[in-house]
Amino acid sequence: MSEGPGVKPPPPVVVGVGLIGAWVLNQAVPVQLGPPAPGLGGMLVFLAVAWIGWAVLVLVRAGNDPRPDRPDAAMVQSGPFRWGRNPIYLGFVVFLAGVALYWGTLWGWLAVGAVFLWLDFAVVRREEAYLTTRFGAEYAAYQKRVRRWL
């Protein structure tokens, strides 16, 4: 199969837009939900980046290009993929949650929710349809065994 799932724009771009959008909105209309939690937020950001890095490393070692618009050479079920089918996207959401905790604002949490919904409906479901076509029964068995998010 020469084509990937056709995900556009790239998810990191959407995460960046969500982050910048939340920051701009917070500058224009600050809505503090609680005290900022820079320690906890920073820890979540660090863990998310490490988790994403691990997942990308596992994909690359399996011969896959981690960009979601590229075809997959192999189905990956090891590393963080044994606990959730979308560890990179989970990492993006945890990263944004860390930023939201760091800021303590409404806009950060709205960005978390908006990016999560976009990932779930516009990216993950498209990728699942592609992977079902690409890997058939092997992917169907993986779906039954491993949850979509975690």
CB 13 within 8 A of CB 67: no
Mean pLDDT confidence for 119-146: 96
1 is a domain residue = no
Structural domain count, the chain: 1
Its domain, for residue 24, covers: 11-145
4 is a domain residue = no
90 is a domain residue = yes
85 is a domain residue = yes
Mean pLDDT confidence for 71-87: 96
150 is a domain residue = no
Band (6; pLDDT cuts 50, 70, 90): confident
Q: Is 77 helix (H, G, I), strand (E, B) or coil?
A: coil
pLDDT at res. 1: 47
pLDDT at res. 8: 87
Helix 87-103 / helix 38-61 crossing angle, nearest 10 deg? 160
97 is a domain residue = yes
Cα angle for residues 96, 150, 133 (degrees, 5° grid): 105
Q: To the nearest whole percent, how much of the chain has pLDDT over 90?
A: 91
pLDDT at res. 2: 56
CB 115 within 8 A of CB 96: yes
74 is a domain residue = yes
pLDDT value at 123 more than 70 = yes
pLDDT value at 5 more than 90 = no
41 is a domain residue = yes
